[in-house]
A and B are shown apart, each in its own frame.
Chain A
Amino acid sequence: MKSITKTFPGVIANDKIDLEVAQGSIHALLGENGAGKSTLMKILYGIYTPEEGKIFFNGQEIRVPNPRAAIRLGIGMVHQEFHLVPSLTVSENIALGYELIRNGLVDRKAQRRRIAEIIEHFGFKLPLEKPIAELPVGVQQQVEIIKLLYRKAEILILDEPTSVLTPQEVDNLFGVLQNLREQGKTIIYITHKLREVKKICDFATILRRGRVVGRVRVADVTERELANLMVGEQVIDYIFPRSGQVGEKKLVLERVSAIDDRGILALKEVTFTVNAGEIVGVAGVQGSGQSELVEVISGLIHPAKGKIWLNGKDITRASPRQRREIGLAIIPEKRKEQGLNLNTNVVENVISTRYYKSPFSRWLTLFDRPAEKFAQRIVSEFSITMSSLKSKVENLSGGNQQKVIVGREMIEQPDVLIAAYPTRGLDVSAAQFVRETMIRRRDQGGAILLISADLDELFAVSDRILILYEGQIVGETKPDETSFEKVGLLMTGHFHAS
């Protein structure tokens, strides 16, 4: 792939990327979340079309307008969420869309025969007639791979294949991949897990922020060097002064475990404290349990185990409103879905957490003027630009939308603030403004838990940093006592001390 460029509104996902993959190799595409790995492969698989760039396959230029075309060219992709139909059997899933037909009916026998051939040839073992829903995830993934082989794929793209596997299943997978490599297949392995890259991959291309930052032969580098390439040199333009004094415990989590909406344990015995006058940052790759952490502290879900204290009170079973009453403010992860009502104006958005209290309402009635004054105060204090107070929030820019949320949550000096990715998608000045606001609040005695995907930000703003990996706190450190590299290693599952 040469000079591939792909943009989405507001962001350059792939910036003139060159990728070369040798046949019969396992090639890792390495990078943090948002680095552009998935996007690049989706271009190869025909889900996206690049603005610029060309793709060459075996020396010939090719065009991939859609996945069907990719399959025809011999390119196959196994996505993170499998594209398997639960009630269909293994063989039906493998043959989906490419069935063998006899007399209008599916020729099960012939299909089974052909699949059995492939399975044997590549050394798999699968129960062909069981419905997918009954099989463990590791086996399902194998089915996905066989699907590709059934369609005669030569290049197999695997997107974060081990994110849903147990360690044993991972070993199984690696055996399979080595087998495939011996048979001459080419595998592109998207991941952020360094240990795996070292274990199974021959080459690696490292992406950061949409650009290629390194091309290596895996045998020639150490995990540390890979980590460095992934997270980059420590480039902090501005470090805020660290906290003057740290006060009492404001937010305490004790052995909190939580289940996500798929029924999987997303937080495992998480324990930490946030004190008054400090900012605690949480670093971790996407999917380490951050969403569940925010939800469990906010009261949207109840922990399966453990306790939470806020301002000294046990809030484990308290409702979101009760928590806010005790002193919690939340900047949620998803600005549009969780933080705002896009369909209405700024005034109605900023009173959403306090409309039921005086002076905004009394008995049944809601008063307009106090709400408007309040909104006006937020708009000026947080420098929000808009045409009028009455215009719909969905017409505001992303940065201003975020400021509405930040304003709403911080204007009344909350004791404890949970901020989830508060500067995501903001331009530099808006992001800086948000950070300054948090620092100011901290200096006034607020306790802030900051979850961010931006290590620069975490290092600049936090007094302490916790590293979250697969639902557990695997490390705690102070930004002045550590480095990007060390944090990067912890984030990606490398636990051993430097």
Chain B
Amino acid sequence: MQAELPHLDPAASQINVEDSAEQIPSAILSLSRMLLTLFIALLMGALVIWISGKNPVEAYRALLQASLGSRTAIANSLLAATPILFTGMAAAIAFRAGIFNVGVEGSLYLGGFAAAWVGFTFTTLPPLLIIPLSLLTAGIVGGVWCYFPAILRSRLQVDELVTTILLNYVAILFTEYLVNGPFLVPGLANAMSPQISESARLLRLLPPSQLNASFLFALLAALFTIYLMTRTKFGYEIRMVGDNPQFARWSGINVVNVIEKVMVYGGIFGGLAGAGQVMGVHYRFIAGFSSGLAFTGITVALLVRNSPLGVLLASLLFGMLRSGSATMEIMTDVPRDLIRVLEATIIFFAAIEFGNLLWRRHREH
């Protein structure tokens, strides 16, 4: 009996116009779909809040206040959005090519650790050298980590979903081992690495918020990804492979190559996301520092149907949600885990949409 997964196609979602609605510009249609999904998620959240005896309106108001209410609040939202920008782009690129890369979380951890390692090892280097070095190392480590499941998929058709999920655990455990073992700092409660040197730390942009230069890097990376997807050869290849891999093969596109590249790209971005957290926020590697950042990235990508511009905007939105939720919890007693519930609802609806699109397309052939 084979360990075969039903064929997945997370790219089967790029803005599809219904036959009957041909007059409506496709952009408006997809925007309204996203807003609808978001709305339903918020409704679900409100239901959950209400069931637990709290006031949804109050909760959402607090959320809004905490995420946009002041300069610091906005800064914090941007801060929270930073890693999501990276992981969202990572997920979107892979999904657009029809690849379910769930391994960005692992790259996040390994890349983050790599950046920390550079930071606390090469303490004598000046900022101009150590910051690029840290970022580079983090990116490379993250990319290489995703390369393994990539070749398993591209050359052996081993489904990347299961392998990447499992490898995440390996990465998380491995970095946990590193900070509990070889790089243990004795006397600290939480397992964490030594602090990185002063020069390795990223500039704070708007104190007292922890918003730092990594946000600018993330923005750059996001803009680069938008450019990549819309104006480059590679972007074209990704889209063709995602829409119809057979067509791509028959036209001479090297599909194996494309698959590997998108997964490594995702890994690089994951590594950079981790590096951003280490170098800009914590200044050290803390085991378990990512509260599902890569999964939020996946949620974002699914919500906006892999549009890079959409990822940019949605990441900011989710940054808002994440940062606002902590304060919301303090003010209204609504636990911040509500955000997870919202995420789950969005993913759930995305699942239904994908599945139906795939099925309809399958039927037409």
**B234 to chain A: which residues have CB within 8 Å?**
364
In the complex, are the beta carbons of B252 and A365 less than 8 A apart?
no
* Known A319-B252, A330-B250, A337-B365; contact A364-B232, beta-carbon cutoff 8 A: yes
In the complex, are the beta carbons of A336 and B365 less than 8 A apart?
yes
In the complex, are the beta carbons of B252 and A341 less than 8 A apart?
no
Which residues of A from 317 to 362 have beta carbons under 8 Å from B? 319-321, 323-324, 330, 332, 334, 336-344, 348, 351-353, 355-356, 361
In the complex, are the beta carbons of B231 and A365 less than 8 A apart?
yes
**B252 to chain A: which residues have CB within 8 Å?**
319-321, 323-324, 352-353
**B254 to chain A: which residues have CB within 8 Å?**
319, 321
Report A391 CB to chain B, min CB distance, Å: 9
**B250 to chain A: which residues have CB within 8 Å?**
298, 300, 320, 330, 332, 338-339
**Interface residue B332 (Cβ < 8 Å from any Cβ of A):** no
**Interface residue B248 (Cβ < 8 Å from any Cβ of A):** yes
**Interface residue A392 (Cβ < 8 Å from any Cβ of B):** yes
**B348 to chain A: which residues have CB within 8 Å?**
none
In the complex, are the beta carbons of A341 and B232 less than 8 A apart?
no
In the complex, are the beta carbons of B16 and A343 less than 8 A apart?
yes
In the complex, are the beta carbons of B17 and A338 less than 8 A apart?
no
**A319 to chain B: which residues have CB within 8 Å?**
252, 254
* Known A343-B243, A343-B244; contact A366-B236, beta-carbon cutoff 8 A: yes
In the complex, are the beta carbons of A366 and B244 less than 8 A apart?
no
Give the number of A-B contacts (CB < 8 Å): 75
Which residues of B from 229 to 253 have beta carbons under 8 Å from A? 231-236, 239-240, 243-244, 246-253
Report B12 CB to chain A, min CB distance, Å: 9
In the complex, are the beta carbons of A339 and B235 less than 8 A apart?
no
A340 to B253, CA, bound (A): 13
**Interface residue B14 (Cβ < 8 Å from any Cβ of A):** yes
A212 to B249, CA, bound (A): 41
Query: Which residue from A300, A332, A344, A392 sits with its C-beta under 8 Å from B239?
Result: A344
**B247 to chain A: which residues have CB within 8 Å?**
337-341, 352
In the complex, are the beta carbons of A366 and B251 less than 8 A apart?
no
A344 to B243, CA, bound (A): 8
In the complex, are the beta carbons of A361 and B243 less than 8 A apart?
no
Name A340's closest neighbour in chain B (CB-CB): B247
A-contact bits for B346-365, CB 8 A (1 contact / 0 none): 00000000000000000001
Name A324's closest neighbour in chain B (CB-CB): B252
A332 to B14, CA, bound (A): 25
**B248 to chain A: which residues have CB within 8 Å?**
341, 352
A341 to B11, CA, bound (A): 13
In the complex, are the beta carbons of B251 and A356 less than 8 A apart?
no
Report A409 CB to chain B, min CB distance, Å: 10
**A355 to chain B: which residues have CB within 8 Å?**
233, 236
Report B51 CB to chain A, min CB distance, Å: 41
**B22 to chain A: which residues have CB within 8 Å?**
395
**A343 to chain B: which residues have CB within 8 Å?**
14, 16, 243-244
A341 to B249, CA, bound (A): 11
**B251 to chain A: which residues have CB within 8 Å?**
320, 352-353
* Known A321-B252, A330-B250, A352-B253; contact A341-B233, beta-carbon cutoff 8 A: no
In the complex, are the beta carbons of B244 and A337 less than 8 A apart?
yes
A321 to B233, CA, bound (A): 15
Report A488 CB to chain B, min CB distance, Å: 31
9 pairs, A vs B, C-beta closer than 8 Å: A334-B246, A338-B250, A341-B243, A342-B243, A348-B236, A348-B240, A352-B253, A365-B233, A395-B22
